[in-house]
Amino acid sequence: MSFLQDPPRLGNQYDDDALLQSYLARQLPEELRRSVTEELRELGELSGKYFYEFQLRDRLNEPELTQWDAWGKRVDRIEVSPLWKEAEALAARRGLVAVAYEQKSAELSRVHQFALNYVVQPSLDVYSCPLAMTDGAARTLLSLGNQELIARALPHLTSRDPATFWTSGQWMTERTGGSDVGLTQTVAKQSPEGWRLYGTKWFTSATTSQMALTLARPEGNGPGGKGLALFFVETRKADGMLNGILINRLKDKLGTRKVPTAELTLDGTLAIPVAGLADGIKNMAWMLNVTRTWNAMGCAWAMRRAMALSKDYATRRVQFGAKLAEKPLHVDTLAGLEAETHGAFLMAFRAAELLGRMEAKVASEEELLLQRLVTPLAKLTTGKQAVAATSEAVEGFGGAGYVEDTGLPRLLADAQVMSIWEGTTNVLSLDALRALAKEGTLDVFHADVERRLAAAKDSRLKPCVKAVEESLEHARSWVAGSLANPVGLEAGARRFAL
Ligand code: MFK
Ligand code: FAD
């Protein structure tokens, strides 16, 4: 019998995760931790077995757009993959969005919610994308306080019943710009039935969602983000037909191939202003804040999955007379990856902790400043880490890492988007600068890092502590020296942020 290589396998993705367990033991009071553990273990089992195997089987099923029915009627229907259909039901039943709004864990609700997602999402083929936007939409509606829309949409967005659960899209990007959203060309016109939108949305993921939040310029408004208004759109009318929306095509993408990312024409789409008729970008920022936190978490869980598979494979693959797990250089490579993964995990959960404290209204003034800064920093840092780490992990499987039906190349292809959508690295660096410009933010950030370093000062991490202190000092003097020189400040933003 010729040799056959054992493929990598996954165990229970909660039981096998020492980092998550130790983090939750530190963060959650004993009673809460015990009640959450059961849920995590169940999701960990689904993630490591049922959904992981499903994901491998379902690999070639991608969303399909049908634009016309047999009789020539324009229907624009998207069929998502079988796994996505199950993921939607699972998301509702397990409260993957709802937990943050039920607030049973008070200010720790975000930690609770993201722990659940962290365990299961790597096996759900980026179903995290619609969930992130659903969560962002719920937060935006609540924060902007439009009671009519809250009553209409919140019960659906936070439902635990798959029959009534809605997801939401986030339609911002147009051909004119995904970064410079102020260039948006979609216009909003008044009609006897209410506001109607006319324009093109160039990237809309989760096009199968029941609703979306989007931006348009009410006729007569001035240019830029200030002249835009935030609108609520239900994608289908009462008769089930699309609400003045044409789905032109699905994008043919490098990764996230299960996500139905489409180009849309809005041709008289009925829409409701969420909060007045201006300041659309500012109002949309509530959504960005939440979806960027999901993005950071998504990087952490992508890296964790790459690690889990890599470590397992190292115990199965033999080269030069020993398992890879016994080869010092391979182990050193995995150790580097593990360190990056831990860093991404802690940064993403730090953003989640702060978001949870803000939403539960227990955050101090300092924590609010920190939250505004840590969100873009976590998004941009983990976005870069995820691409580098999944690339290294794929290489760790040798040629098998490059062969599609192992499922492994998907790790890298899906990670590449994390630094692009929800704001690119440069755009997020500039956002971090805007956050820093607020009086006191840099001091609060330093104090927070110093507090964390103090615990490690006398440990064997001493050399790392020194290195972090030096780079903090460097950043502080660079910001101080550049304040009088806006061009220099902007040019160095990415260096500071990364
Ligand atoms: C697991 C994965 C989950 C993720 C799934 C996601 C699926 C994909 C979805 C997408 O990609 S959706 C599209 C995402 N698009 C972006 O992220 C846009 C990137 N561009 C930016 O973020 C630009 O910085 C921005 C459009 C915000 C700049 O626009 P402007 O017109 O130059 O606005 P400006 O003056 O910077 O900000 C306008 C107001 O908003 C200001 O308030 P004031 O009017 O009071 O001064 C800002 O302070 C406020 N603002 C901007 N960014 C903010 C913010 N407030 C809070 N937080 C922020 N991040
Ligand atoms: P550009 O804005 O043209 O950026 C090009 C380059 O210029 C980038 O490297 C950027 O960093 C750099 N740059 C831009 N401005 C500056 C500056 N001031 N200083 C320095 N550098 C700068 N959008 C949605 O609204 N909804 C969705 O559901 C959605 N889904 C997506 C799904 C996928 C798979 C992808 C790939 C994208 C999706 N997007 C979505 C769009 C995404 O948010 C944008 O592509 C992204 O924000 C970048 O915008 P852009 O493509 O116009 O690039």
Q: What is the pLDDT of residues 170-193, one digit of tens each?
A: 999 999 999 999 999 999 999 999
Fold held by 18-57+94-124+282-429: Butyryl-CoA Dehydrogenase, subunit A; domain 3 (1.20.140)
Residue 483: the pLDDT is 60
Mean local confidence (pLDDT), 120-148: 98
Q: For ligand 2, atom 35, name the residue with the nearest CA.
A: 421
Share of the chain above pLDDT 70, in %: 96
Evaluate whether the domain defined by 168-279 bears CATH number 2.40.110.20: yes
**Residue 63 in this model has a pLDDT that exceeds 80:** yes
Which atom of ligand 1 is nearest the CA belonging to 376?
A: 59
Nearest atom (ligand 2) to Cα of 169: 28
Closest protein CA for atom 7 of ligand 1: 129
Summarised one tens digit per residue, pLDDT across range 215-263 is 999 999 999 999 999 999 999 999 999 999 999 999 999 999 999 999 9
Whether residue 410 contacts residue 255, with contact meaning beta carbons closer than 8 Å, is answered with: yes
pLDDT band with cut points at 50, 70 and 90 for residue 1: confident
Residue from 168, 180, 203, 496 to probe ligand 2 pocket by mutation (most atoms less than 8 Å from CB): 203
Smallest Cα–Cα separation from 88: which of 12, 10, 164, 171?
164
pLDDT recorded at residue 457: 77
474 token code pair = 């460097």
Q: What is the mean pLDDT of residues 380-402?
A: 98
- Are 433 and 441 in contact by the 8 Å Cβ rule? The answer is no
Distance between first and last Cα of the chain: 51
379 C-alpha to center of ligand 2: Å? 14
Looking at every residue in the chain, the average pLDDT score rounds to 94
For ligand 1, atom 26, the nearest C-alpha belongs to 181
Q: Which value does ipTM take for this structure?
A: 0.98
Comparing 409 with 455, the larger pLDDT belongs to 409
Query: Residues with Cβ within 6 A of ligand 1?
Result: 128-129, 132, 170, 172-173, 178-179, 181-182, 205, 224-225, 281-282, 285, 288-289, 291, 294-295, 298, 421-423, 427, 431
Angle at 431 between CA 427 and CA 437, to 5 degrees: 145
- DSSP code, position 439: T
d(Cα 458, Cα 282) in Å, to the nearest integer?
A: 44
Q: Taking 70 as the threshold, does the pLDDT of residue 485 lie above it? A: no
What atom of ligand 2 comes closest to residue 172's alpha carbon? 25
Rounded average pLDDT over 281-300: 98
Question: Where in the chain are the domains?
Answer: 18-57+94-124+282-429, 168-279, 439-497
Give the mutation target among 288, 416, 490, 494 for probing the ligand 1 site: most ligand atoms within 8 A of CB. Answer: 288
CA angle 369, 102, 161 (to 5 degrees): 135
Band (pLDDT 50/70/90 cuts) for residue 336 is very high
Which ligand neighbours the alpha carbon of 293 most closely?
Answer: 1
Ligand number nearest CA of 428 is 1
CA of 48 to the centre of ligand 2 (A): 33
Rounded (10°) angle between helices 109-120 and 18-27: 170
Q: What's the CA-to-centroid distance between 160 and ligand 1, angstroms?
A: 30
The model's confidence at residue 484, banded by pLDDT at 50, 70 and 90, is low
Q: What is the mean pLDDT of residues 465-482?
A: 77
Residue whose CA is at the smallest distance from ligand 1 atom 21: 179
Write down the pLDDT at residue 479. Answer: 72
Identify the three-state secondary structure at position 213. strand
pLDDT, tens digit, 9 for 90 and up, residues 69-82:
999 999 999 999 99
DSSP per-residue letters across 246-272: EEEEE---SS-TTS--EEEEEEEEEEE
Separation of CA 426 and ligand 1 centre (Å): 13
Q: Residue 482: which residues within 8 A CB-CB, separation 6 or more?
A: 488, 489, 492
pLDDT band with cut points at 50, 70 and 90 for residue 103: very high
For ligand 1, the distance from its centroid to the CA atom of residue 281, given in whole angstroms, is 6
Ligand 2: residues with CB < 6 A are: 170-173, 177-179, 203-205, 253, 256, 261, 417, 420-421, 423-424, 426-427, 430
- Given this model, what pLDDT does residue 308 score? 97
With beta carbons less than 8 A apart as the criterion, state whether 62 and 78 touch: no
Instruction: Give 189 Cα–ligand 1 centroid separation in angstroms.
Output: 24
Task: Kindly state the percentage of the chain with pLDDT values over 90.
Answer: 88
